[in-house]
Amino acid sequence: MRDVACISEAEDKWAWGQFFDDVREHKQYGVYGTGAGIQVLLMAGHGSQHRYIVGARKVLTEAYTDHIAENRFFSQHHFDRLYKLSSLVEQECADHDRVETSSPAIEDLIRRILPDHGWGDFYNSESDKDVESKITPTASALLALRKYRGFRESSACENAVACLCRRLREKARPARYELALGSLALIEYESVSDRVVDYDVTKNSTQQRLKLWAKGRKALELGADESRHYPTSLDGSRGNEYLFFLPDCLAALVLLKSGSPRRTRRYVLEVTSFFAKQIIEKGGFLSVSRNKVSTVDHLWIYRLFKEIESKQATELLPQPFYSLSTMPRFARAMTSLGLLLVGSFGVYGLYSSLFARQLGESVSIIRVVFFAVLATVGLGLFTGTVKDVFKDQD
């Protein structure tokens, strides 16, 4: 997190706003930005006693616990929104692999489970709450609670995971971010899979939909975001809110966490390279629709970087290049030459077949197609091999 984007409310309090590159005179900061700042610093190796982390947590604790009119987070009902409460819980648990003791925020989040066992977008009171669970709030709450043992060992956990599975199966056309968030939550709760009906079917089908989408993505489409609009009260009196997600970042993270399927590795590398290049060249990734450097976007991007950093090279390189990369230089050169010869033979066969047909000779169309495929595959693999294996050796 860049120091220039960090706000000091007092000598011992620190916070971040929604955007890194926002104007700082008005001292705007919030739950999402501050929670993201804490989590990135922790993932980057800073201890929980780092002054920014201690000061930022102090800001969020006071925002949640001070029920006074002067506290805008309380007076404006910030933590009535499921996503802000989830962000608070996530940063509380971020420096632990396991959380044995609950906090008021954790208990608050668990109490909001609806009778259908999932979560809604908001909870202002028993008479003013979202009464129907949905994919995004349920996945967000499950991800926030994933480290708390008391929840994972309860029947409420199994019921919530079952609810998420049901919602993912029922929705005909879920957004890509919904598929990705749902997949991430299911991956985190695989330990309860044997106690949840249709867990495996739902996880596999959801990931398959993401894979099909990812395989069809074009380079120009990377970085586009998706938005979620949701109300914050039943009658609309408290307004509406928006959430923004980076579906490519989320999908790549899902694919890495689900075992890095070989046919999607090129997509994952392209997505990671895209975000890394954006950050290096522009000092941060600017959302296409918002044209801002968002703190929450960079939290997800950093999670993607950390996940890819944890993988071995053989888990990342696409076929056939992951095999070629492990060969000695001479073997790689000979393999590339072999592919070139195959492609050249295909070109020669295609040319001679078409020329013979033009002269009136009887040449089977199957022969023409065979040589066309041979030329395309051979030269395509040769070009890709040279590009992917040798371009970065300098």
Closest CA to 141 of 184, 111, 165, 109: 109
Which pLDDT score, from 0 to 100, does residue 392 have?
Answer: 42
Which pLDDT score, from 0 to 100, does residue 89 have?
Answer: 97
Which pLDDT score, from 0 to 100, does residue 323 have?
Answer: 54
Which pLDDT score, from 0 to 100, does residue 205 have?
Answer: 95
pTM, entire model: 0.79
| Distance (Å, whole) CA 375 – CA 76 | 65
Helix (H, G, I), strand (E, B) or coil at 361: coil
Per-block average pLDDT, block size 10, for the chain (394 residues)?
A: 58 84 65 95 92 94 93 92 97 94 96 96 94 97 97 95 96 94 97 92 95 89 92 87 94 93 86 90 84 90 91 72 57 71 80 78 71 72 62 43
CA atoms within 13 A on the CB side of 155: 0
DSSP state of 312: -
